[in-house]
């Protein structure tokens, strides 16, 4: 996932796709972008204490309730928070994104209990992490994922529900506390300082010294939202058998102090949500937590944080060799006893991937976890920009089933990579959350990612609720806008 290539600003033609062989992302240095926004500079702390009205709708077993609460916008220095409600708020599947401002602090409403065994969790706040135009780790990913999940909720309402305003405690001290179990205070302060350099919430800034992890003034907010959603899922795990967290930016490459010693960069990652979730699970009484990372890249940051701690078992199946990012997790590298790395030569093939997953599943079964966390990355798909795998959505569905069958415990799935076909046709301006975002994802570029996520969610639903449900929804017809876009791109390419 780590080979972001910024577009040449003057180019009016789409450049050809990158070479098939992955290169070392650490050799790429990105030019800091000049802020494109016309938003006036925001004085430090200007958002502290601001209040935004947020509407939330709950859907439980067909009963819809509506509630309103007022949520303070995130303060730069998080204040101690009231206890977050353990139950995710659910919302009508086809409702618009609940907030372009972050949902923060505890809701004053009482959410009804979730009645579906699988809950998809999202908050539009994660799309506030803006990246340079043409960057593959873009807000459209989770916006598209949400749309996919909403379709699954509609198709299998008894099995899958949605919590579209999850992670409500994003500004809370409990989230900071959870983050600081996994990351050093020094590293967290470096993120605060980096995002504070942005002249406005959407101004692009380089967030890490290594250069491939760009963001904006709201990037830490979005990363905190990803963490908040993930730990909310863990806290709800005794009531909700399976939660799928649609979050970004990804986290599995970031170690306790940021970049790992060997990796060239942080690979778009700011906070390691899955590692924070594992430590949160332990703090919440889960004695044995298995973390399985099936993103096509090695979960080096997660290994760094969990290695040698026998409360956890960590396994990763990933591409290794030929300069593949991050260049760790190889067969010759000795790992701690609680770590299993299964490196595969790129491109990863279906049979090798399946054998690796089965090997990991045997170790998970032997470990006997009481909570399974999945670092769910779909960038091993044959059509993905990462270009490190020859897998398809069936492989990800099967992988999910094998891993879930290896243990009889709840599962929290946390999104990592998966980028789709290409993102080079964007119009040169990174998207803002909202209506423009919806239009931007309507062009099928994320189709392989969407298909993998749908297969993953269906596998979760099959495991926790049973198969034999309604047949898959036929793909939605492309909108007129998408057709026009695609035709104009094809003409441009000729
Ligand atoms: Zn990846």
Mean pLDDT by 10 residues, the chain (494 residues): 38 31 30 27 29 22 22 30 40 42 37 79 96 87 95 96 94 96 97 90 80 87 98 96 98 96 92 98 98 98 98 98 96 96 98 98 98 98 94 98 96 96 52 48 76 98 80 48 55 49
The enclosing domain of 122 has a CATH number of 3.40.800.20
Burial 164-184 (b: 16+ CB within 10 A, else e): bbbbbbbbbebbbebbeebbe
CA of 378 to the centre of ligand 1 (A): 7
CA of 251 to the centre of ligand 1 (A): 10
The number of folded domains in the chain is 1
Distance CA 271, CA 477 (A): 37
Instruction: Say how many Å lie between the CA of residue 323 and the centre of ligand 1.
Output: 14
Ligand 1 center from residue 305 Cα (angstroms): 18
pLDDT for the residue 1: 44
> Which residue among the candidates 122, 253, 463, 465 is catalytic per the annotation?
253
- Per DSSP, the residues of 316-343 read EEEE-STT-TT----TTS---TTEEEEE
In a domain, 49, yes or no: no
Within 10 angstroms of residue 409's Cβ, the number of other Cβ atoms is: 18
* 146 is a domain residue: yes
Tell me the angle at which helices 447-465 and 139-155 cross, rounded to the nearest 10 degrees: 40
Place of tokens 């605060």: 192
Which residue in 77, 219, 84 sits closest to 165, CA to CA? 84
Exposure class string for 216-229: b at 16+ Cβ within 10 A, else e: bbbbbbbbbbbbbb
Ligand 1 mean position, distance from CA 418 (Å) = 7
20 CA distance to ligand 1 middle (Å): 16
* Contact indicator for 1, 267 with CB cutoff of 8 Å: yes
Tokens of 55: 């509407």
Question: Cα of 150 to ligand 1 centre, how many Å?
Answer: 24
Asked whether residue 366 is assigned to any structural domain, the reply reads yes
Contact 218, 128 (CB under 8 A): yes
The pair of three-digit structure tokens given for residue 134, joined into one six-digit string: 């043409």
What is the spatial distance between Cα 230 and Cα 494, in angstroms, rounded to a whole number?
45
DSSP secondary structure of 190-257: HHHHHHHT-SSTT-EEE-STTSS-EEETTHHHHHHHHHHHHHHHHHTTTT-SEEEE---S--TT-BTT
What one-character DSSP code corresponds to residue 392? -
The reported pLDDT for the residue numbered 494 is: 43
Q: Tell whether 190 is covered by a domain.
A: yes
Dihedral of alpha carbons 216, 220, 223, 224, sign: negative
Cα(410) to ligand 1 centroid in Å equals 24
pLDDT at 118: 97
Indicate whether 144 belongs to any domain: yes
In a domain, 455, yes or no: yes
Distance CA 43, CA 37 (A): 16
Q: Spell out which residues have Cβ within 5 A of ligand 1, the ion.
A: 1, 295, 297, 377, 379, 417
What does the pLDDT read at residue 422? 66
Domain limits at 171?
A: 54-493
Residues 362 and 356: their CA atoms lie apart, in Å, by: 10
441 CB-side CA count, 13 A? 27
Q: Is the backbone of residue 469 left (phi > 0), alpha (psi -120 to 50) or beta?
A: beta
- Looking only at the bridges linking them, the beta strands covering 51-60 and 63-72 are antiparallel
- Catalytic annotation on 253? yes
Helix, strand and coil in the chain, % to nearest 5: 30, 15, 55
Ligand 1 centroid distance, CA of 416 (Å)? 7
Indicate whether 442 belongs to any domain. yes
Q: Distances from the Cα of 464 to the Cαs of 27, 110, 290, 374, 469, in angstroms?
A: 44, 26, 18, 15, 12
Residue 479 lies in a domain: yes
pLDDT score at 493: 45
Cα 274 from Cα 292, distance rounded (Å): 10
Q: What is the distance in A from the centroid of ligand 1 to the CA of 291?
A: 16
Burial 73-109 (b: 16+ CB within 10 A, else e): bbebebeebeebbebbbbbebebebbbbbbbbbebee
């Amino acid at each position: 996932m780590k080979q972001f290539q910024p577009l040449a600003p003057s180019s009016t033609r789409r450049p050809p796709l990158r070479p098939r062989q992955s290169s070392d992302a650490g050799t790429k240095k990105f030019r800091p972008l000049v802020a494109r926004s016309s938003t006036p500079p925001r004085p430090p702390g200007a958002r502290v204490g601001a209040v935004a009205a947020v509407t939330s709708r709950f859907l439980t077993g067909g009963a819809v309730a509506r509630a309103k609460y007022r949520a303070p916008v995130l303060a730069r220095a998080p204040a101690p928070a009231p206890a977050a409600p353990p139950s995710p708020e659910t919302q009508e599947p086809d409702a618009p994104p609940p907030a372009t401002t972050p949902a923060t602090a505890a809701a004053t409403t009482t959410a009804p209990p979730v009645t579906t065994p699988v809950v998809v969790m999202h908050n539009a706040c994660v799309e506030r992490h803006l990246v340079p135009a043409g960057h593959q780790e873009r807000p459209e990913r989770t916006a598209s994922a949400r749309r996919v999940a909403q379709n699954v909720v509609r198709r299998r309402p008894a099995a899958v529900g949605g919590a579209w305003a999850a992670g409500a405690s994003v500004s809370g001290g409990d989230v900071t506390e959870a983050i600081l179990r996994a990351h050093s205070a020094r590293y967290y302060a470096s993120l605060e300082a980096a995002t504070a350099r942005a002249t406005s919430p959407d101004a692009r800034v380089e967030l890490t010294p290594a250069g491939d992890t760009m963001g904006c003034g709201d990037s830490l907010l979005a990363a905190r939202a990803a963490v908040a959603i993930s730990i909310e899922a863990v806290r709800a795990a005794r009531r909700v058998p399976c939660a799928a967290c649609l979050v970004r930016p990804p986290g599995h490459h970031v170690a306790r102090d940021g970049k790992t010693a060997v990796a060239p960069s942080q690979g778009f990652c700011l906070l390691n949500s899955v590692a924070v979730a594992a430590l949160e699970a332990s703090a919440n009484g889960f004695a044995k937590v298995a973390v399985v990372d099936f993103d096509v890249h090695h979960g080096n940051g997660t290994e760094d944080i969990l290695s040698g701690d026998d409360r956890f078992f960590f396994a990763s199946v990933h591409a290794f060799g030929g300069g593949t990012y991050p260049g760790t997790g190889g067969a010759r590298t000795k790992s701690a006893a609680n770590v299993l790395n299964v490196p595969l030569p790129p491109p990863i093939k279906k049979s090798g991937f399946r054998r690796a997953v089965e090997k990991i599943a045997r170790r998970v079964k032997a470990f006997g976890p009481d909570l399974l966390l999945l670092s769910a990355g779909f960038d091993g798909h044959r059509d993905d920009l990462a270009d490190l795998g020859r897998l398809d959505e069936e492989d990800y569905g099967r992988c999910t089933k094998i891993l879930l069958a290896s243990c009889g415990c709840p599962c929290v799935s946390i999104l990592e990579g998966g980028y789709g076909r290409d993102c080079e046709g964007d119009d040169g301006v990174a998207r803002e959350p909202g209506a423009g975002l919806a239009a931007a994802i309507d062009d099928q570029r994320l189709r392989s990612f969407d298909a993998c996520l749908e297969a993953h969610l269906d596998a979760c639903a099959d495991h926790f609720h049973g198969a034999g449900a309604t047949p898959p929804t036929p793909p939605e017809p492309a909108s007129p806008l998408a057709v026009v876009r695609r035709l104009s791109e094809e003409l441009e390419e000729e």
